[in-house]
Amino acid sequence: MNKSISLQTNGQGLYEITDEVIALVSESKTIDGLCTVFVQHTSASLIIQENADSSARRDLEGWLNAFINQIDFDFTHTAEGSDDMPSHIKAALTAVSLSIPIAHGRMQLGTWQGIYLWEHRRGRHARSVVVNVR
Residues of the shown chain interacting with a second copy in the complex, contacts defined by CB under 8 A: 1-2, 32-34, 36, 38-42, 47-50, 53, 55-56, 58-60, 62-64, 66-67, 70-73, 75-77, 79, 85, 88-89, 91-103, 108-113, 128, 130-132, 134
Sheet holding 13-16, edge to edge: 13-16, 113-119, 44-50
How large is the C-alpha radius of gyration of the chain? 16
In the complex, the smallest distance separating the C-beta of residue 11 from a second copy, rounded to whole angstroms, is 19
Gap between the Cα atoms of 40 and 103, Å rounded? 27
Nearer to a second copy, 19 or 53 (CB): 53
In the complex, the smallest distance separating the C-beta of residue 130 from a second copy, rounded to whole angstroms, is 5
Q: Where are the alpha helices (DSSP H) in the chain?
A: 18-28, 54-70, 84-93
* Residue 79: DSSP 8-state: T
Nearer to a second copy, 29 or 79 (CB): 79
In the complex, the smallest distance separating the C-beta of residue 121 from a second copy, rounded to whole angstroms, is 13
